[in-house]
Amino acid sequence: MSYTLLPGTRAPVRVWTDPATIEDQAAQQLRNIGTLPWVEGVAVMPDVHYGMGATVGSVIAMRQALAPAAVGVDIGCGMSAVRTSLVASDLPDDLGKLRRAIESTIPVGFNAHDDPVNPHRIHGLPTAGWDTFWAGFRTLSADVGGLETRATRQLGSLGGGNHFIEVCVEQGGLDAGRVWLMLHSGSRNIGKELAERHIAVARKLPHNASLPDRDLAVFVADTPEMDAYRHDLTWAQQYAARNRAVMLALLCRVLRDAVPRVRYDEPISCHHNYVASETYGGVELLVTRKGAIRAGRGELGIIPGSMGTGSYIVRGLGNDDAYNSASHGAGRRMSRTKAKKTFTVRDLKAQTAGVECRKDAGVVDEIPGAYKDLNTVIAEQSDLVKVVAHLKQVVCVKG
């Protein structure tokens, strides 16, 4: 489909779903964003839903300004996936054992590694730039200095919420049955701490005093506050990317221990909460993607569903109207609180039938029924991406 313009905004807000299906809170957020004087345009993805300040599933292009809430608190959150040489029949018969091996190797939830990861001791993990990267921690906002030990131990850990690790099987096509590994995580606690500090600073700046929503507070170019935020943001995005790289290398090792003959293709990786400087119409813009991936022409991306519905590998079509973007997933159709009130553990077991995963009250808020229909979300962005592969999980690890 093509986009629809959301009425009542100064800058164009282009929507890749039926505007009538957008919850009222999210629609008002989008209108608030569209009134900001710095905003060049907004692209709204079909997985759009309410978020703090800026809507999840929004791509916001600004001139000489940047709203930290338009990135979110999990800076650099994103996906990684790798295709293996295996087919489904090569997997161990006991997928529960495989899941337990993953959970014992990669810390989940609030857990962390006992000792910091040594990149030189993990097979398949690129080792370039690690010392320079960690040295950068000491240049971050001064009041996060006491978090370094925690940050080093959390690198290579999953976290909780909608973060996951999966073993998937490709559906249909010439590669039907091919096994993939996939994971979703971000910058862990250090990204959250940095984001919250900078959002608090932005709220207090005089030029943000009359905004329709104080959570949309912006930094403007050529100011110390903007420079400090972009410095910390860049580091946190690197942390998130390295976090996923460590986990993917560890995950590959777990599968190799189970099936020694496995081989791996080049991994695919993409942020979906981040900032990039990009040029459209000859104008350099700061583009924030909050719950959206870059989908430039030919670029590979990952669009996951829920813990029972699978995911898609896609190739970008390079649509400038969407600022070369696509959705980051199916998107929630109800809050976690509502999901817990609506569904039971019995529902969770039914909706995740055939998937080796947690099936307890602690993950009911992640039940497939709490998310939008992934196939509909994919269909609504047919002018943004082309499907390369449809994957269905057989193992899902949640925090």
Give the active site residues: 328
Contact predicate 38/65, CB 8 Å: yes
Q: What single-letter DSSP state applies at residue 55?
A: P
The single residue listed with the structure tokens 């999840």 is 56
Q: How far apart are CA 56 and CA 149, in angstroms?
A: 31
Q: How far is CA 297 from CA 206, 218, 301, in A?
A: 40, 30, 11
| Rounded distance between C-alpha atoms, residue 154 and residue 160, angstroms | 12
Beta strands 13-15 and 39-49, pairing class: parallel
Of the candidates 339, 374, 370, 345, which has an alpha carbon nearest to the alpha carbon of residue 357? 345
Cα–chain center distance at 259: 29
CA distances for 146 relative to 141, 143, 243, angstroms: 11, 7, 20
What kind and span of H or E run contains 198? Answer: helix 188-203
Non-local (6+) Cβ contacts of 144 within 8 A are 190, 193, 194, 197
**What letter represents residue 47's amino acid?**
D
What residues contact residue 311 under an 8 Å CB cut-off, 6+ apart?
81, 166, 168, 182, 302, 303, 304, 305, 374, 390, 391, 393
The answer to whether 249 and 61 have CB atoms below 8 angstroms apart is: no
Judged by DSSP in three states, 145 sits in helix
Q: How far apart are alpha carbons 74 and 240 in whole angstroms?
A: 9
Look-up: residue for tokens 């670029």?
A: 299
* Beta-bridge partners for 327: 292
